[in-house]
Amino acid sequence: MVSALRPRISPGRLRELGPINWVVWQVLSKAAGTDDAHLFSTLGRTRGLFRGWLHYSGKLMPGGRLPRHESELVILRVAHLRECEYEMDHHIRLGKRAGVTAEILDRVRTGPDSPGWTDKHRALLAAVDQLVQTRDLDDAHWAALAGHYDERSLIEIVLLVNQYEGLAATITALRIQRDGV
């Protein structure tokens, strides 16, 4: 959900970020295709916590076991369900690099019942929907997902959904503005 309100915590600069996080912010902003990735210049104010969060996040995406295309489907679906335009902006760009076309993005927005999904992707997106809506997976959704993924990947999917659900909540609560705003 986008807020027209001002950010609750302004994006930091060198003084607030410290030299390490300032460099990290610069590199991540360039990688994201922007001069100031507000998410990183805001969260970077937490210093070491920011770097720990980046490590954890990076282990899920892009460093996880899931194919990058599937990770992006998960993240984009979470961002859509949470109405988090900041997350959508970033992961539309990242998703393109992973083969998420405009047509696939439209299907992500429509959801798991959209025609054209493989059984695997339908099970993945249905699991995302149920996790976001209920904070749990019933046995039917679990079985559908387990038919396509090993145990380690199943754990990773749950962690990935919850990571981006929490990130969407953080972006919303802190009123982090979309980049370029």
**Range 138-166 average pLDDT:** 98
Assign 2 a pLDDT band (cuts: 50, 70, 90): very low
What's the rounded Cα separation, in Å, for the pair 62 and 3?
28
Assign 180 a pLDDT band (cuts: 50, 70, 90): confident
Residue with tokens 């990688």: 31
Assign 120 a pLDDT band (cuts: 50, 70, 90): very high
The pTM score is 0.93
CA 38 to chain centre: 15
User: What digits encode the pLDDT tens for the residues 20-79?
Assistant: 999 999 999 998 888 999 999 999 999 999 999 999 999 999 999 999 999 999 999 999
**End-to-end CA separation in angstroms for the chain:** 15
